[in-house]
């Protein structure tokens, strides 16, 4: 696949940058965006870093009717020496390629994906917040051909936008309370669960809203049998038992997160007993009763490492708050991960890429 | 919910109308479209029938990232006396309301939905093809608020576009061949299967493409146990056994089609033994072996009544072609349905609405 050159068009209007304290997550966008187009006839073309702005879309476009939409979430960090780094961007490219295949779309080639994002982050690097903030990068691929017969689109738009962020949850790094969802289902075998398809989020909104009404930050998704643990909305999940750390194995219904993968790498590096395996909800409840459940935490690009304070269903609750503090292991992982990201610790696993 | 007035802005440029023989399905769009906006603060506002054109969308809009997109499919017919009628538009409104609730969206109020569509069809009525063609109407609801934290959008765009169509399948009303899909899954309990969400189509594209490569027009979806029949891509499905006509019951994973509902009404009116119940694939195979399976057909707004010629899996094939002709019952239903739509037969069930 031939990669087109990337043209750069600088914005002439610049937005006021928000105060660090008001950032939250995904509320503000920077001055520029990266876009590239694909058609079956032309291949990838018209690659440009230009002003952030609304784009025109035909009302018959595939993304509006048949949900051909796939995205990634990644981050850029400003280190103490002002050096800007990307965290594992190739991981995100690989995942987008796999997702594009499942959704019958054409993913951008690696160099277009990486170079477009790097040029974009470069031009907007003044937007990167200081620690503990970061620049969230949202690469997105959508079908743009206008037709109504159900089939894959022959035209795509790839774009990346940037948002300066602090914490994903209002709780910051304090423990979040999670509701175990038994009514709705996120994904089943043969579906889209392993991809970062927009469709997976459409199905999840109502469950998250119901959980919020009950006072919970997110839901824990179970598999279609409602027996096995899959993931938390927007995060993968880890349970720290007395002699084993467990995260559900990737069996096709779970989104394999970049932070999930990095945490597994770290735990192996530290010679800790990490298992990727099927995990029953009843096993977690049992371990909690026996005092063998030490910690639970979520992992995600947006949320980083989020300790779980409470896990609740209609019939039971597990309290895991360590006096409101982060658990020992999740704190150690958080410190290492953010230490590498901000350049305070050595990047032993080769996670970082300079611009 | 207060409904805004609908303003009418006539296009000044008119497209050439395609030849009836080239129509196919969903390839051409008329001169106008209907749009209306919603926000939590303003409610529904800015309702307009105006020129068909691309609209601006923020790259952070919910529909592009979290799949908040829901649509309907309905039709307008030109009868022999030149009278234009809509087929069961209230059915489609009700289904959109139910789908919007599942996707945490706000559906347009009934009068806005119906009046907007009627004004639109009126302004573009010269586009309605003669028999056996019709005007396909695509009402669509998408989330437009720009933010990246996963939650429902506070802003929506509702729009309706029109496409003059002939047959959905290249086969016309000749039997279509269907592949029984056992690898991919359309929907599971707790998911979006019962809604006309864009997400359901995203998940289906690869299966349909794989079937096409094998020479089949569409797939037959099974439930998550891969034992029970659910629906055909873009159609509901009916099996005509010796003493019973069966269509799968709506248990939350199947899209309840308007033509499906109309066919059930007709069969009841005719005192034929129609059952909505769970139906095993093995029962169909068994009945075929015993000579008790007489016909099978799909129903849908786009496809109307499509006889099924062949049903195939990796291990077996059922041939249902009645010497390449439509089966007796599906022909009778097709004649009645299209007879009512084109005004040749009495509208006993109150399906039609004038403009």
Which member of B58, B147, B185 has the closest CB to residue A54? B58
pLDDT at B141: 98
Query: Is residue B145 a contact partner of residue A133, using CB atoms and an 8 Å limit?
Result: no
A103 touches B at CB < 8 Å: yes
Residue of A nearest to B202 (CA): A67
Evaluate whether the domain defined by A176-352 bears CATH number 3.40.50.150: no
pLDDT at A73: 97
Which member of A59, A168, A192 has the closest CB to residue B202? A192
| Cα of A321 to nearest chain B Cα, Å | 25
Separation of alpha carbons B107 and B27, rounded Å? 27
Residues A24, B149: C-beta atoms closer than 8 Å: yes
Judged by DSSP in three states, B182 sits in: coil
Q: Which residues are CB-neighbours of B347 under 8 A, at least 6 positions away?
A: B340
Judged by DSSP in three states, B200 sits in: helix
Judged by DSSP in three states, B313 sits in: coil
Residues of B in contact with A104 (CB under 8 A): 205-206, 209
Which member of B24, B140, B204 has the closest CB to residue A64? B140
Query: Is residue B74 a contact partner of residue B89, using CB atoms and an 8 Å limit?
Result: yes
Which member of B66, B202, B204 has the closest CB to residue A205? B66
Q: Record the tokens describing residue B115, joined without a space.
A: 């009046």
Phi, psi of B106 (to 5 degrees): -110, 115
Query: Is residue B267 a contact partner of residue B274, using CB atoms and an 8 Å limit?
Result: yes
Residues of B in contact with A187 (CB under 8 A): 188, 191
Show which of residues 206-245 on chain A sit within 8 Å of chain B, judged by CB atoms. Answer: 206, 208-209, 224, 233-234
Residues A65, B201: C-beta atoms closer than 8 Å: yes
Which member of B102, B149, B198 has the closest CB to residue A65? B198
pLDDT at B320: 86
pLDDT at B326: 75
B174 touches A at CB < 8 Å: no
Residue B84, strand partner residues: B78
| Cα of A164 to nearest chain B Cα, Å | 11
pLDDT at A170: 66
Given the candidates 4.10.320.10, 3.30.470.10, 3.20.20.140, 1.10.10.10, the CATH classification of the domain at B12-166 is 3.30.470.10
Residues A205, B64: C-beta atoms closer than 8 Å: no
Residues B206, A103: C-beta atoms closer than 8 Å: yes
Q: Record the tokens describing residue B248, joined without a space.
A: 């799968």
pLDDT at A133: 94
Per-residue DSSP letter, A20: G
Query: Is residue B302 a contact partner of residue B176, using CB atoms and an 8 Å limit?
Result: no
Residues B163, A148: C-beta atoms closer than 8 Å: yes
B183 touches A at CB < 8 Å: yes
pLDDT at B170: 66
- Each domain of chain B, given as residue ranges in start order, spans 12-166, 176-352
Q: Record the tokens describing residue B337, joined without a space.
A: 């349905």
| Topology match between the domains B12-166 and B176-352 | no
Q: Which residues are CB-neighbours of B343 under 8 A, at least 6 positions away?
A: B77, B79, B80, B81, B83, B85
Pairing type for strands B304-312 and B176-181 reads parallel
Q: Which residue has the tokens 């799909």?
A: B298
pLDDT at B92: 98
Sign of CA dihedral B205, B210, B215, B221: negative
Query: Is residue B293 a contact partner of residue B239, using CB atoms and an 8 Å limit?
Result: yes
* The three-state (H, E, C) secondary structure of B269-286, written as one string: HCCCCEEEECCEHHHHHH
Residues A201, B168: C-beta atoms closer than 8 Å: no
Residues B59, A192: C-beta atoms closer than 8 Å: no
pLDDT at B324: 61
Separation of alpha carbons A133 and A154, rounded Å? 38
Site from B106, B202, B222 to mutate, A interface, most A CB atoms within 10 angstroms: B202
Separation of alpha carbons B353 and B355, rounded Å? 6
Q: Chunked in runs of 10, what are the mean pLDDT values of chain B (355 residues)?
A: 90 94 93 98 98 98 98 96 96 98 98 98 97 96 96 97 86 85 96 97 96 96 97 96 97 97 98 98 96 95 92 94 78 95 96 96
Separation of alpha carbons B305 and B315, rounded Å? 27
Q: Record the tokens describing residue A51, joined without a space.
A: 């002003």
pTM, 2 dp: 0.97
Residues of B in contact with A66 (CB under 8 A): 198, 201-202, 205
| Cα of B321 to nearest chain A Cα, Å | 25
pLDDT at B207: 97
Residues B190, A183: C-beta atoms closer than 8 Å: yes
ipTM of the prediction? 0.96
Phi, psi of A223 (to 5 degrees): -75, 180
Which member of A58, A68, A206 has the closest CB to residue B104? A206
Per-residue DSSP letter, A255: -
Site from B148, B159, B169, B211 to mutate, A interface, most A CB atoms within 10 angstroms: B148
| Cα of A269 to nearest chain B Cα, Å | 32
| Residue of B64, B55, B149 lying closest to A35 (CA atoms) | B64
Which member of B25, B187, B192 has the closest CB to residue A148? B25
Residues A60, B29: C-beta atoms closer than 8 Å: yes
Residue ranges of chain A with per-residue pLDDT less than 70: 1, 169-172, 322-325
Show which of residues 110-169 on chain A sit within 8 Å of chain B, judged by CB atoms. Answer: 136, 138, 140, 142, 146-152, 159, 161, 163, 168
pLDDT at A171: 64
Residues of B in contact with A68 (CB under 8 A): 202, 205
| Cα of A203 to nearest chain B Cα, Å | 6
| Cα of A46 to nearest chain B Cα, Å | 17
| Cα of A234 to nearest chain B Cα, Å | 8
Which member of A26, A58, A185 has the closest CB to residue B149? A26
| Residue of A178, A168, A162, A221 lying closest to A32 (CA atoms) | A162
């Amino acid at each position: 696949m031939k990669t087109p050159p990337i043209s750069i068009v600088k914005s002439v209007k610049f937005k006021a940058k928000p105060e660090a304290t008001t950032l939250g997550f995904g509320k503000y966008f920077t001055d520029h965006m990266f876009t590239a187009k694909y058609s079956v006839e032309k291949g990838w073309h018209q690659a440009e870093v230009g002003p952030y702005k609304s784009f025109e879309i035909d009302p018959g476009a595939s993304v509006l009717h048949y949900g051909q939409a796939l995205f990634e979430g990644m981050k850029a960090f400003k280190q103490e020496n002002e050096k800007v780094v990307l965290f594992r961007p190739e991981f995100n490219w690989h995942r987008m390629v796999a997702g594009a295949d499942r959704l019958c779309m054409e993913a951008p080639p690696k160099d277009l994906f990486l170079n477009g994002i790097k040029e974009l982050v470069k031009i907007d690097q003044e937007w990167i917040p200081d620690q503990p903030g970061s620049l969230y990068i949202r690469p997105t691929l959508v079908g743009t051909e206008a037709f109504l017969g159900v089939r894959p689109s022959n035209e795509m738009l790839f774009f990346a936008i940037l948002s300066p962020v602090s914490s994903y949850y209002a709780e910051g790094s304090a423990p979040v309370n999670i509701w175990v969802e038994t009514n709705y289902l996120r994904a089943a075998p043969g579906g889209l669960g392993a991809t970062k398809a927009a469709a997976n989020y459409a199905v999840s909104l109502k469950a998250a809203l119901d959980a919020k009404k009950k006072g919970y930050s997110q839901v824990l998704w179970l598999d279609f049998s409602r027996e096995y643990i899959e993931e938390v909305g927007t995060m993968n999940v880890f349970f720290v038992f007395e002699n084993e750390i467990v995260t559900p194995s990737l069996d096709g219904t779970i989104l394999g997160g970049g932070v999930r993968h990095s945490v597994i790498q770290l735990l192996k590096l530290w010679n800790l007993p990490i298992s990727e395996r099927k995990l029953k909800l009843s096993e977690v409840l049992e371990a909690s009763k026996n005092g063998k459940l030490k910690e639970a935490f979520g992992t995600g690009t947006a949320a980083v490492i989020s300790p779980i304070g409470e896990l609740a269903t209609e019939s039971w609750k597990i309290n895991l708050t360590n006096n409101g503090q982060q658990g020992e292991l999740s704190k150690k992982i958080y410190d290492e991960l953010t230490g590498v990201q901000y350049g305070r610790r050595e990047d032993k696993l080769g996670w970082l890429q300079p611009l």
